[in-house]
């Protein structure tokens, strides 16, 4: 009888630990996203007011000519709404797979992107 209680207690603790670890998985601290990121010639800036800008120096576009966007990060889902010059908005959706003080990785339905923080 005592052994059954001990096994039941251990099983309960194990199940609770599994659910708790799953809860945290896929949640990222958005403050780590703030700043300038680079992947080759492509740059993104994420500001704390949920706005940002992007440009690609390979297209001869400078930071001053960058395209604006708004963004939000909920758990691992990163949404960017790009604001076009003519007033249109283009949404883009990504799943963040890694976000640290130096690395940003996310993917969409077609490919993965890896950025490094620029100081």
Assign 115 a pLDDT band (cuts: 50, 70, 90).
Answer: very high
Tell me, yes or no, whether 91 lies in a domain: yes
The torsion of the CA quartet 17, 19, 20, 25, rounded to 10 degrees, works out to 120
Query: 36: domain range?
Result: 29-118
* 1 within domain boundaries: no
Position 106 pLDDT exceeds 70: yes
- Per the model's pLDDT, the better-predicted residue between 119 and 23 turns out to be 119
pTM reported for the whole predicted model: 0.77
Number of domains in the chain: 1
**Mean pLDDT confidence for 3-27:** 53
The CATH number assigned to the domain holding 86 equals 2.40.128.280
Q: Across residues 48-57, what is the average pLDDT?
A: 97
Task: Kindly state the average pLDDT of the residues 62-82.
Answer: 96
Q: Is-contact 22 89, C-beta < 8 A?
A: no
Q: How far apart are CA 67 and CA 87, in angstroms?
A: 12
> Is residue 52 in some structural domain?
yes
pLDDT band at 10 (very low <50, low <70, confident <90, very high): low
Joined together, the tokens standing for residue 2 give 């005592």
Specify which residues 79 forms β-bridges with.
72, 93
Q: Which of 19-33, 70-84, 96-110 is least confident?
A: 19-33
Answer yes or no: is 5 within a domain.
Answer: no
């Amino acid at each position: 009888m005592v052994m059954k209680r001990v096994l039941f207690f251990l099983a309960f603790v194990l199940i609770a630990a599994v659910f708790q670890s799953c809860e945290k998985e896929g949640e990222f601290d958005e403050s780590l996203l703030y700043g300038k990121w680079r992947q080759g010639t492509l740059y993104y800036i994420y500001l704390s007011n949920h706005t940002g800008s992007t440009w690609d120096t390979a297209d001869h576009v400078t930071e001053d000519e960058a395209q604006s966007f708004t963004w939000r990060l909920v758990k691992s889902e990163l949404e960017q709404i790009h604001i076009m010059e003519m007033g249109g908005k283009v949404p883009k959706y990504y799943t963040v797979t890694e976000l640290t003080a130096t690395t940003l990785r996310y993917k969409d339905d077609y490919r993965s992107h890896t950025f490094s923080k620029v100081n």
